[in-house]
Amino acid sequence: MGEEELHQLISGCLKQDRKCQKLLYKAFYGFSMGICLRYAGNRDEAAEVMNQGFFKVFTRIESYDAAKPFKAWLGRIMVNTSIDFYRSNLKMAYADDLEKAEHISDGDFADKNIRYEDILAMVQKLPQAYRTVFNLFAIEGYTHEEIAEMLNINIGTSKSNLHKARQKLKVMIQEADDMADKKRYNSGGMNVNSIVAMNGTNMNGILINKNTWG
């Protein structure tokens, strides 16, 4: 979408023009949903949060500074709405069994590639508090000080949650890796696209394409 077209849509949204609202919504649906999915537990939840984010956009569009990138403004609104949505859950303490993580050796992640659906499923499987800190730190690039302030938690809690999130993700990657190996072995060593379902209650299919892993 060109700059001019975007400005026209924003002007229409300022007049609460429903057509322009829909066009803007459609244009940034993928981008916004992509953010909300990372913070949410599933797609329905993400859609609810995203709509609340867009609701803020449409009702406060006059506060948007046209000199700044719209996408960045929209992204911040989506992140903030996601945080607000789960704020009550963010301080919950988890007594997770991280024993498994102690036996996980740090693999080589530098050249690994995991499908979008798979990494999304892994992140969504994280407890809310870990997921939020991991998203803010690893994906959005905030510091622990900023995260602590945003979430109204201690810096120590932020660091601890990030550590636990990473450990859990490593376990998930390792388990997926093992399952993929097993499948491949069972199938007679044929190099097929092994589809491995992670064990987990809410795993709506974590699919790892072994072939794409370096």
Partner 1 sequence: MEKDKELDNLFKRGFDDPGHQPDFRDDDWEAMESMLDGNKKRAGIVYWLPILGAVAAMLLIAFGLWMFMHKTPENQQTVKNRISPKDTSNTKQRNPGISDGSIQRNEKIYASTQSKVESAVHTAGRDTISPATVANNTSYSHKGQPTVIPSAGGGRRDTTGPVSEQPFSVAQPGGREILASISSTPTFSSQSRKIDTIEPKDVQAKQNYGDLAFNREKANAAASRGYKPQFAITVLGSSDLNGLNSFSQSKVGTNFGALFSAGIFNRLTVSIGAVYSSKPYLTNFDNYRGSFKFPNTPATVSADCRMIDVPLNLDYSLYNKHRNKFSVGTGLSSYLMFHENYNYSYGAYGNGPASYSVPSPGKYYLSILNLQATYQRQINSRLGLDVQPYVKLPLSGVGLYDSKLQSTGVAVGLTWSLGNH
How far is Cα 189 from Cα 13, in angstroms, rounded to an integer? Answer: 57
How far is Cα 18 from Cα 49, in angstroms, rounded to an integer? Answer: 20
Name the segment binding partner 1 (CB under 8 A); options: 70-78, 104-112, 181-189, 190-198.
104-112
Work out which of 8, 10, 17, 25 binds partner 1, going by CB under 8 A.
25
Site for partner 1 in 31-90 (CB under 8 A): 31, 33-34, 37-38, 41-45, 47-48, 50-52, 54-55, 58-59, 81, 84-85, 87-89
Q: Which residues have C-beta within 8 Å of that of residue 124, sequence separation ≥ 6?
A: 37, 38, 40, 41, 42, 131, 202
Q: Which residue's structure tokens are 């609460």? A: 16
Name the segment binding partner 1 (CB under 8 A); options: 1-9, 61-69, 165-173, 181-189.
165-173
How far is Cα 213 from Cα 209, in angstroms, rounded to an integer? Answer: 7
Whether 197 contacts 206, CB under 8 Å: yes
Residue ranges in contact with partner 1 by CB under 8 A: 18, 21-22, 25-26, 29-31, 33-34, 37-38, 41-45, 47-48, 50-52, 54-55, 58-59, 81, 84-85, 87-89, 92, 106-110, 112-120, 123, 134, 137-139, 166, 169-170, 201-202
